[in-house]
């Protein structure tokens, strides 16, 4: 078992590159669900007896364009977001940088971590990745999530960040 403190090297790391296909798939599924959901009323409009056909065709074309646009975004966005996402773990805590247009640097001190989850959805499991969820006592950042770490690495980060058993208050 690797030493958890080896993870805390104070260097900025990128996420595991496998997160890109993971997010592409996730995005496509999301668009798929939205598209299917919005298609149903469209079907009613097309097949309805009193509905003017022209309107229906126009809506169908619009819907197709929207779906194609959504799918394209789902493919084009993850690589871009990947370039702008990084994290650093050291003795002080964890720092996460992300955001393409709206950029954020979140710093969670180690002494403020309440508990940590490492979760895996089914697709994440297939790629061997996990999502790190850090819980603090804060209001706005009660939960800080980082998706796209290799599962083993995420577990090591968790080991390192968790408070080492010192009681919270006397």
Report if residue 1 touches another protein, rule: CB under 8 A: no
- Which segment (12-20, 36-44, 78-86, 137-145) binds another protein by CB under 8 A? 137-145
CA-atom Rg of the chain in angstroms: 22
What 3-state class would DSSP assign to 150? strand
Q: Which of 144, 154, 157, 161 binds another protein (CB under 8 A)?
A: 144
Q: Cα(123)–Cα(130) distance, rounded to whole angstroms?
A: 10
- Cβ at position 11, least distance to another protein in Å: 16
Site membership for another protein, residue 83 (CB under 8 A): no
- The answer to whether 107 contacts another protein (rule: CB under 8 A) is yes
Q: Which region, judged by CB under 8 A, interacts with another protein, from 13-21, 42-50, 101-109, 120-128? A: 101-109
Q: Contact, 50 vs 63, CB < 8 A?
A: no
- Out of 33, 58, 68, 137, point to the residue binding another protein (CB under 8 A): 137
* 138 is a site residue for another protein (CB under 8 A): yes
Q: Does 103 bind another protein (CB under 8 A)?
A: yes
- Residues 38/120, Cβ–Cβ less than 8 Å: no
* Closest approach of another protein to the CB of residue 30, in Å: 25
DSSP classification of residue 16: P
In angstroms, the CA 167 to CA 14 distance is: 33
Cα 13 from Cα 17, distance rounded (Å): 11
Cβ proximity of 35 and 63 under 8 Å:
yes
Asked if 11 is part of the footprint of another protein (rule: CB under 8 A), the reply reads no
102 binds another protein (CB under 8 A): yes
Per CB under 8 A, 111 contacts another protein: yes
């Amino acid at each position: 078992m690797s030493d958890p403190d080896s993870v805390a090297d104070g260097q900025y790391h990128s996420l595991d590159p496998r997160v890109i296909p993971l997010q592409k798939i996730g995005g496509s599924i999301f668009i798929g669900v939205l598209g299917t959901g919005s298609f149903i009323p469209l079907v009613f409009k097309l097949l309805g007896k009193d509905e003017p056909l022209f309107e229906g065709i126009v809506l169908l074309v619009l819907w197709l364009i929207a779906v194609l646009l959504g799918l394209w975004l789902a493919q084009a966005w993850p690589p871009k977001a990947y370039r702008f996402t990084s994290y650093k773990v050291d003795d002080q805590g964890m720092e996460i940088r992300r955001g393409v247009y709206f950029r954020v640097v979140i710093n969670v001190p180690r002494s403020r971590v309440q508990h940590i989850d490492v979760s895996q959805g089914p697709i994440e499991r297939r790629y061997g990745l996990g999502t790190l969820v850090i819980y603090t006592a804060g209001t706005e950042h009660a939960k800080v999530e980082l998706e796209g770490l290799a599962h083993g690495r995420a577990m090591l980060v968790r080991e390192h960040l968790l408070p080492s058993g010192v009681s919270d208050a006397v």
